[in-house]
Each structure stands twice: as C-alpha cells, then as structure tokens.
Amino acid sequence: ARITLRQLLDHAAEHGYGVPAFNMNNMEQGLAIMEAAEETKSPVILQASRGARAYANDVVLAKLIDALVEIHPDIPVCMHLDHGNNEATCVTAIQYGFTSVMMDGSLKEDGKTPADYAYNSGITRRVVDMAHWGGVSVEGEIGVLGSLEMGGGEQEDGHGVEGAVSHDQLLTDPEQAVEFVKDTHVDALAVAMGTSHGAYKFSRKPDGAVLAMNVIEEIHRRLPNMHLVMHGSSSVPEELQEIINKYGGQMKPTWGVPVEEIQRGIKHGVRKINIDTDNRMALTGAIRKVLTENPSEFDPRKYLTPAMAAMRKLCKERFEQFGTAGNA
C-alpha cells in the first residue's frame, strides 16, 4: 500500500532503522527495487527526479507505480519527488499520486545557484502548507550539497553548484537547521556534510575532514525528533567500478560514502538515504558484460534481465545494511 514519508520515517525512528530512497526512471528499476523489497520484507521509498518524470512521462510513471503497488500489496511504498525546484513541480507530482515531495530551496530554480535563507525557508513553507492540506509529506534541504574536498564547484559528472560556494555553505549550520525546521514545518530535513551527487565524491576513502558526520550528530542533538536525510549517499563500490572498466567502461578511480558511515548516521537520526549512482553502476556493469561477451546479441531482455538482477542485489544489500529489512 501507498504511505507517506512521514508515516514511514516515524516508524523507522521508532524502531531505529534507515530507509534507502532509490531513484527510478523506468520499469526495470521499479521492478528491481520492489523485488528486493519483497525478498527482504522492506518498506520502500521510490523517488523520481524532474529528469525521471520527463524521461518516463508523468502518466507512464504514475501508472507504473500503481502497478508496482498492486503487484506487492504487502509492501509499504512511499512515492517521493526528488529535488523539486518550485511550487509547480511539487503540486504536479502530488496530482500524479506522489505521497511525498522534496522542495529543494537550497538552490534557486535552475538547480545550480545557491539560494539565501529567506528564499529557501519561504518557498519551502509555501510547499509545506499546500502539501499538508492534501496529507502529503515534505522534505526540505538546508545547506548546499557539494564536495568539501573539491571546493563545491562543478564535479566531473556535470553535477555541482554554480559559482563559488564557501566552505561554510557546504556544511549545514546546526543553528540554522533548528530555525529552518521551526520556520517551515518540514517532515524530513536534508543536510549537507560533504557528500555530493554522482560517482566522483572523494579521491580517497573519506575521513572526517571531507565527510563531516559530526555535523549530523550535532544537528540530531538539537533536533532529536527530526528525520534527517542524506543525499549523495552512494558508496560507489570498487567491485562495480571494476566490472564497468573490465568490460570497456572508463570510470576513473573514486570513493563514495562508506556504508559504515551511513550506519553511524542512522544511529544519529538519519532515516532517508538517497541512492541513485550505485544502481546506475550496477545496471551499466551488467549490461556492458553481456554486450561485451555476446557482441551478436540484440534482444534487450538478454541484457536487461541480468541488469535488473544486479540492481536487485544492490538494493537488497542496502535494505539489510540499513536495518530496513523485516520492517514491511
């Protein structure tokens, strides 16, 4: 059945677990996530970005979610908008059946330019007021996501914020987090502590200087009842880098967020953990393998079936590692 982010994360907080929020753009990703949830008896957060909505078409996406919920009647499903950039994207997501929206006002509408506090708190509060009328949850973000190590500028995969971002902005100010929650009434709060989107987060295994989990602990101390969200939480597993590169890919060496750091976060109020890149890598590695080993193959099912299996495996691992398993 469909549930809201608030319902799901309240349960997660009560029982001390975290929930991976997996991005999806198509049927294969949707099936893989739901099969992993079924096999581990996990509640699910499916999230779609604006890019996913444009790629799949809103109507296709909405009916696909209906189908996934119908196929898995015992799995609680939260359908979440990832990185909504204005009121309209959030309202239209709700019209298509999303039970939760992220209003990311940490950046302006272009998704690149850091916004000031007044803009962020104002637009987030307007979305919260509107969404709550319809029983829909809202995630807000305070602080700008970006690499402390690389100075927050453009990252190698094209994600990244525009212009100079100060070191300060890349770490959420706990004081401002308290103010933001009071001003906006969000159900969940994304915070910045050094992660960034995409595969190229850290040039070596991250330590506390570049992945500031202590910021999360400080925010949790001040906001013990707030559900915290970690974006950019792919672990970018070395095995997946190796598979991709073995079969013709060209990923440069890189590090993501170690699972044990996420587990530490879960002990300190982190309830929603956003993962897209790891699944992209699992799918791509499997597809490259089939096509490299069988160059005469052209039936998409021949590479999409192993691709789904690789994604299902990764999702199952995260459900187990975050303590989500067994909570459906």
Site for ligand G3H in 267-296 (CB under 6 A): 276
What minimum distance in Å lies between the beta carbon of 52 and Zn ion? 12
Query: Is residue 187 within the footprint of Na ion (CB under 5 A)?
Result: no
Binding partner of 187, given ligand G3H, ligand 13P, Zn ion, none, CB within 5-8 angstroms per partner class: none
Alpha-carbon gap, residue 253 to 244, rounded angstroms: 12
Size of the site for ligand G3H (CB under 6 A): 8
Nearer to ligand G3H, 48 or 62 (CB): 48
Sketch the per residue contact string, 62 through 101, with ligand G3H: x for CB under 6 A, - otherwise.
--------------------xx------------------
Alpha-carbon gap, residue 221 to 225, rounded angstroms: 9
Near ligand G3H by CB under 6 A: residue from 4, 40, 49, 279: 49
Alpha-carbon gap, residue 127 to 307, rounded angstroms: 37
E strands within the chain? 19-23, 44-49, 77-84, 100-103, 137-142, 188-191, 227-230, 270-275
**Which phi and psi angles does 178 have, rounded to 5°?**
-60, -45
Query: Is residue 102 within the footprint of Na ion (CB under 5 A)?
Result: yes
Query: Is residue 253 within the footprint of ligand G3H (CB under 6 A)?
Result: no
Query: Is residue 277 within the footprint of ligand 13P (CB under 6 A)?
Result: yes
Is 278 annotated in the active site?
Answer: no
Structure tokens at 227: 């559900």
Alpha-carbon gap, residue 240 to 283, rounded angstroms: 10
Q: Which single residue is written with the structure tokens 């299902």?
A: 312
What minimum distance in Å lies between the beta carbon of 126 and ligand 13P? 21
**Residue in 328, 322, 288, 321 with CA at minimum distance from that of residue 307:** 288
> Which residues are catalytically annotated?
82
Residues at the interface with ligand G3H (CB under 6 A): 23, 49, 51-52, 82-83, 197, 276
Q: State the residues that interact with Na ion by CB under 5 A.
A: 82, 102
